[in-house]
Amino acid sequence: MPPARQPDQSAPRTVSPTGVGYEGPKDGRDPRGQAGDTLTTPNGVRIPDSDHSLKAGPRGPVLLEDFHLREKIMHFDHERIPERVVHARGAGAHGVFTANGAAAKVTRAAVLAEKGLQTPVFVRFSTVLGSRGSADTVRDTRGFATKFYTKEGTWDLVGNNIPVFFIQDAIKFPDIIHAGKPHPDREIPQAQSAHDTFWDFVTLHTEATHHTIWNMSDRGIPRSYRTMDGFGVHTFRLVNEKRQTVLVKFHWKPKLGVHSLTWEEAQIAAGVDPDFHRRDLYDAIENGAFPEWDLGIQILPDTPDEAFEGIDLLDPTKIVPEESAPVQVIGTLVLNANPTNFFAETEQVAFHTGHLVPGIEGTNDPLLQGRNFSYLDTQLTRLGGPNFTQIPINRPHAPVNDNTRDGFHQQAVHTGQAPYTPNSVDDGVPFPANWADGAYVNVPRHVEGDVVRAAPASFDDHFSQPALFYKSLTSVEQQHVIDAYTFELGKCYEQGIKERALTVLARIDERLCAEVAAGLGLPVPKRIKPEKPRPESPALRQIRPTPFPIQGRIVGVVAGPGADLDGIAALRKALEAEGALLRVIAAHGGQLVKGRKVEIVERTFATGRSIEFDAIVVADGAPKDGDFRALVMLQEAFRHLKAVGAWGDGVDVLRAGGIDPGAPGVITGRKSNAKLAGAVVAALGLHRAWDRTPLVRASMVPPTV
């Protein structure tokens, strides 16, 4: 018999999942939401397959006649009023995208092709699973959605910070979200995947393995929105002026590099500053450290099989390694203005994968095709009707002359008498456009196939790319993946789910499976060989020896009443020259005064915490009372592999906190000078002192008795 579940997961059920044992009203009314053992539509029609959309052939487009897809997603889209069902917790900013002209040979879309063209944008970042009131720093996928207000109409690139998705077909989207959301009986846990229903789903639908291992990596807990990648996820088709086509994948690459939080940092932030990511974004923009990303594309041939080096380009759970198809930069995004009103802009902005402009087309990716329906449909409830594009944040920056009329929240005052085309009453206006006028004209594509609920055989490879991802990581990143799986599965109560998860991990890597099994206290599955991955892809690593710019980084300086204010001022000047900030931390608020020098205390030991700072330095003239809060702050920063430093007698404070001045990433000096400032800047550029990892891990192992 499996072990009993813990109390918080095992409340007695008054009704079984199928309604057996239910004793309800005797007057004929039956309020059960679930009756019988067979899957049906809402009106009782039995369904043989709820995992595949109805298509014209396994690789063909999804058919509009699929009533089950329509009903399933329609109902899912309207489950929450008015909060977003997914991506509810978000932050946004205005900016501008500037094309460099490199895409002119592959697309007619001016937003990408016209060199020097500047296009206004609004970007919304978000978590996926949590409610609007959840924390920013939970382990989760992050949304990265960009609305381009182009002169040809609005284009929405609705992406994530992970390049693949959990599922291959949109018909399963309600299922993966239902599995990831809080358990319906108790509405817990909030905003996290460390629970039974999530792991039950992803281990039964092994197509989710690739996305899951990305989420278990450092990518699942980004340092900030400013330091995370963005991906279009799907394969798109670009069309040039000669009607030639290529397939592409979109990539956002942050100028500051890709960096993440440690797991302990993420947990602390969720408690002491649940707004950590939105605060970081808003403060950076307000301080002039404008976040920047390069937009790049992987250009792939548009062949009949829509594959590249054996990778099915219609499968949203697959990547194309950058070593096989380099990312070519086609423009740069700069976010330079915060919203004026959160609700009017960030909350009411509406994205839609089907909002495309001439020169950009979708593909037969079944997840993308389902999203093209879902995003449009969900606005009807969330934004109160079909006129959501008239809300200022959604309003196109191109002329609009459509034949839609009336409806909820109609704000346009339409003129004329003929809302139809063609007409003679209004002199034929509006006239249809053609290719030469910039009309959206789809490139003809041959489509044929039997009407089936199926997926192509190439979609069956669920493990080779997760194995590639894990193999490509550094040893430090691999250990973080092991730790994440061990934590998440350790929060599950169903023994069978844990055991099934280990069989999945065994298909990825032997050490990964063995380490997680040891952490769970379970045996390693036998007779399962890991997949043989492709050659390593170094582009998948986050930890690199390359220094990055430090704009918007924050250095905390711990200062006592007699602190060296000249030294603080010198360090501040050096940091500000690189776009970084310095915050003075002291025992209490107010000012530090020494002669004619004055420093404002911006954080106290009560209001500051290590997570806010990318490095912490103790100034000469350090606090003499050994305030434990200062020591905790330094110890946390040291444990999180951040740069830690001191000058003068500040070194004694490091020693009092058990920090070895000779340890990696610890910067000391007799005084604050150019050498010390240069060392701090260099350490910030590398994000963390990764060489300190063995020392920190060893200190966390209790001594043997």
Q: DSSP readout, 570-595?
A: HHHHHHHTTT-EEEEEESSSEEEEET
pLDDT, tens only, 553-590? 999 999 999 999 999 999 999 999 999 999 999 999 99
Which residue of the set 52, 100, 160, 387 is catalytic? 160
Residue 486 and residue 456 in contact, taking contact as beta carbons nearer than 8 Å: no
User: Residue 115 in contact with residue 330, Cβ under 8 Å?
Assistant: no
Asked if residue 189 has a cis previous peptide bond (ω within 30° of 0), the answer is yes
pLDDT interval class at 5 (50, 70, 90): very low
pLDDT over 50 (residue 545):
yes
Q: What is the pLDDT of residues 309-337, one digit of tens each?
A: 999 999 999 999 999 999 999 999 999 99
Has 160 been annotated as catalytic?
Answer: yes
Whether the CB-CB separation of 299 and 258 falls below 8 Å is answered with: no
- With a CB cutoff of 8 Å and minimum separation 6, the contacts of 515 are 482, 486
CA nearest neighbour of 394 among 604, 153, 697: 153
Residue 19 scores a pLDDT above 60:
no
Give CA separation, 598 vs 67, 407, 563, 595, 601, in Å. 71, 62, 11, 8, 10
Q: How far apart are CA 96 and CA 45, in angstroms?
A: 50
Whether 374 and 173 have beta carbons less than 8 Å apart is answered as yes
The CATH homologous superfamily to which domain 87-163+225-394 belongs is Catalase core domain (2.40.180.10)
pLDDT band at 15, cuts 50/70/90?
Answer: very low
pLDDT, tens digit, 9 for 90 and up, residues 493-531: 999 999 999 999 999 999 999 999 999 999 999 989 998
pLDDT at 44 over 90: no
pLDDT band at 34 (very low <50, low <70, confident <90, very high): low
> Nearest-5° angle of CA 627, CA 623, CA 556?
90
Return the CATH superfamily for domain 463-540. Catalase, four-helical domain (1.20.1370.20)
Q: Report how far apart the first and last C-alpha atoms of the chain are (Å, whole number).
A: 36
Element (H, E) at 66: none
Question: Does pLDDT of 155 surpass 80?
Answer: yes
For residue 380, CA distances in Å to 17, 75, 335, 374, 388 come to: 31, 12, 29, 10, 8
Distance CA 175, CA 182 (A): 13
Find the catalytic residue in 68, 87, 234, 480. Answer: 87
Check if the beta carbon of residue 171 is closer than 8 Å to that of residue 51: yes
Written as one letter, the residue type at 268 is I
Q: What CA–CA distance (Å, rounded) separates 272 from 268? A: 6
User: Domain residues of the chain, as ranges?
Assistant: 87-163+225-394, 463-540, 554-699
pLDDT band of 33, cuts 50, 70, 90 = low
**Pairing assessment for the beta strands 603-604 and 581-586 based on DSSP bridges:** parallel
User: What global pTM score does this model have?
Assistant: 0.90
Based on the residue annotation, tell me whether 87 is a catalytic residue of this protein.
yes
Q: Any residues with CB less than 8 A from the CB of 249 and at least 6 apart, and which?
A: 163, 231, 232, 234, 235, 236, 297, 298, 300, 319, 320
Closest listed residue to residue 141, CA positions, set 212, 226, 236? 212
| Alpha-carbon gap, residue 332 to 329, rounded angstroms | 8
Average per-residue pLDDT in the chain? Answer: 91
pLDDT of residue 590: 94
- Helices marked H in 491-627: 495-506, 510-520, 565-576
Could you tell me if 123 and 335 are in contact, meaning their C-beta atoms sit under 8 angstroms apart?
yes
Alpha carbon distances (Å) from 164 to 250, 284, 307, 319, 563: 12, 29, 16, 7, 51
pLDDT in tens, 276-303: 999 999 999 999 999 999 999 999 999 9
The CATH fold assigned to 554-699 is: Rossmann fold (3.40.50)
CA distance readout (Å), 12 to 9, 77, 286: 9, 31, 52
What's 535's DSSP letter?
Answer: S
Q: Map tokens 């169903």 to a residue.
A: 494
HSE (side-chain half, CA atoms, 13 Å) at 199: 29
Q: If 0-12 CB within 10 Å is exposed, 13-18 middle and 19+ buried, where does residue 78 land?
A: middle
